[in-house]
Chains A and B, each alone.
Chain A
């Protein structure tokens, strides 16, 4: 995934484009994360000012939702489903496999910056479990071999 480098002027522009929306806090955070890959601390006072909120309120929203990152992710984000249908189809073993293979635990990024590993709690692909999403590409009927191929592609 290609992100723009953090640039306050660009962030202001993104924020200004959304101030007319009702209840825009999440929209702004999402738009910033889409542009920069994460929401830097510097964005919090900017959103607070645009929406006439306290900085604490914005921080509270940012930290409540698991999707928001406060540090840049790796070049690829691998979300592996950890929920029940995927557990039933061998998801736990796959999770252990991927952690070993990447040398990181869920929530972390590999040392080479290639892959950020995140858990997902159901991707709606439960009939072809176990499932994963790499960037925005969905993958079903996953096994260790398929997973290794995906990771090899991501780490190239």
Chain B
């Protein structure tokens, strides 16, 4: 009997030495003549335990972490005897951090071998597609509508409605575009799925293709993710080889194929129309809407554009889970949200739960506070265009509407934790600087306003007529908010104004106390 061991190939695990641990394991096992079957899955998302090593046992997988190459000999001794070792975390599925989650989208991530289509199928993969192939286009779209699925890329637009528009947009060439640009800082869910469960994304895109009558799909992946690009390409090839992509998928009358395209470092190319321009080989400038991409998208043809997580939710829904999906969540935010905890946090990682968990639970209980051990002062939710929240707002539940009501946004679900050494005026300046750096240049409020914004914050920081300059900053923010063509210029005021509102003392103003919830 060989020992079955799992060490992630996920780039988050590689970044902290997973390859070195894998090499040490093989070397020491070889020296002991111990046959080892090493699998390289994605990550379970418990990054503070990465590199995590799991061993198959009759009771289930047992986890050890964080493992260094130097730990390997003693770890092997432990595994071969009764398993006792200081790094032992017990049965992986019983680790409280993992057990508290509701994993629908990430159900297989970290478990299956992302290179193996057989493993994917053995874990329920492709059941959604098989069912979809027997359904009418309308019936597939009805299921997606019934699930209440909203786009996970940021704006939260109802997915079924989008698909129906494209399905009804006449015949002829149509496209499916998967937005894997994941440019928001603090987010890595799309990356984890591409590296850990790529067939699910392929399956979701294929179902979308069948539903709307598109035979060609593109997945636009940012260049900062070379490992994800490789994993997606390998999975697409495997799907083609086994008849899950290409002509007559699974011997049906439907055809669908996917091509990977890699971005070139521009954040704005995550905005859907800018992504289309980029895919067409042009500068990634934003298009005015209308026409909507659903009517006139890639190369002028009707196009479905969804985020990686949106497509990934589809196989579960089509596999008979529309009602089950709709049953979790709160208000108009149905299903689960993969939340990404990062920054100065003790337990950073991916946490998938039904909507409704509060920010405070996430940061204090799940995240365990800061890594530095200092008090949490601010949390930025929703990427570089998201608001900075103080402790006083930690009772905000994760829900699109609840965050919007407090001038914030859920966005792609990134939660970045800062301790009390953070300077919020500096963070406000960074938001403006980032916008200036990433602006596509099409409209003046964003292109010029952001540069002026950074300069104005500089003046406030140096104490140059702070009151007057704060008025200028607020005015600029309003101009950007109402005068920008897209959300880059339109939402940059959110981090800036939230910093100013909740942390005025960092701008040289008298501190204000918000009422705490408790």
Contacts and interface: CB of A to CB of B under 8 A. Distances in A.
Contacts of B264: 26, 29-30, 65-68
A125 B416 CA distance: 12
B224 A120 contact: yes
Interface stretch (B163-171, B249-257, B274-282, B468-476): B274-282
Nearest to A133: B224
A57 B183 CA distance: 25
Report whether over half of chain A's contact residues are helix, strand or loop; otherwise say mixed: mixed
Interface string A2-20: 0000000000000000000
Given A124-B224, A140-B16, A89 B371 contact: yes
Q: Which of A27, A79, A85 has the most CB of B within 10 A?
A: A85
A84 B380 contact: yes
Given A64-B284, A87-B430, A121-B434, A126 B299 contact: no
Contacts of A66: 264-266
A141 B17 CA distance: 10
A140 B266 contact: no
B403 interface: no
Interface in B462-489: none
B428 to A, nearest CB: 12
B417 A125 contact: no
A60 interface: yes
B315 interface: no
A37 B100 CA distance: 47
B196 interface: no
B284 A131 contact: no
A124 B191 contact: yes
Nearest to A33: B264
A128 B430 contact: no
Nearest to A118: B265
B276 to A, nearest CB: 9
Contacts of B188: 124-127
Given A85-B342, A125-B15, A65 B185 contact: no
A122 B190 CA distance: 13
Nearest to A120: B224
Contacts of A148: none
A81 to B, nearest CB: 8
B278 A127 contact: no
A98 interface: no
B187 interface: yes
A89 B341 CA distance: 13
A129 interface: yes
B125 interface: no
A154 interface: no
Contacts of B281: 23-27, 51, 61
B343 A88 contact: yes
Contacts of A129: 342-344, 348
A150 interface: no
B190 to A, nearest CB: 8
A82 B343 CA distance: 12
B372 to A, nearest CB: 8
B130 to A, nearest CB: 30
Contacts of A133: 224
A60 B441 CA distance: 13
Contacts of A64: 266, 283-284
B232 to A, nearest CB: 14
A83 interface: yes
Contacts of A83: 185-186, 384
Contacts of B384: 83-84, 121
A51 to B, nearest CB: 7
A30 B226 CA distance: 13
A129 B187 CA distance: 12
Contacts of B434: 121
A46 interface: no
Given A23-B299, A85-B186, A124-B12, 13 more contacts: A22-B299, A29-B264, A65-B263, A65-B264, A66-B265, A121-B267, A121-B437, A122-B186, A125-B15, A126-B187, A126-B343, A127-B348, A138-B227
Interface of B: 11-12, 14-16, 47-48, 50, 182-188, 191, 223-227, 261-267, 278-284, 299, 340-345, 348-350, 371, 380, 384, 414, 416-419, 422, 427, 430, 434, 437-438
15 contacts: A26-B262, A26-B278, A27-B281, A61-B281, A66-B265, A83-B185, A84-B185, A87-B427, A121-B183, A121-B267, A121-B437, A126-B342, A126-B343, A126-B414, A138-B14
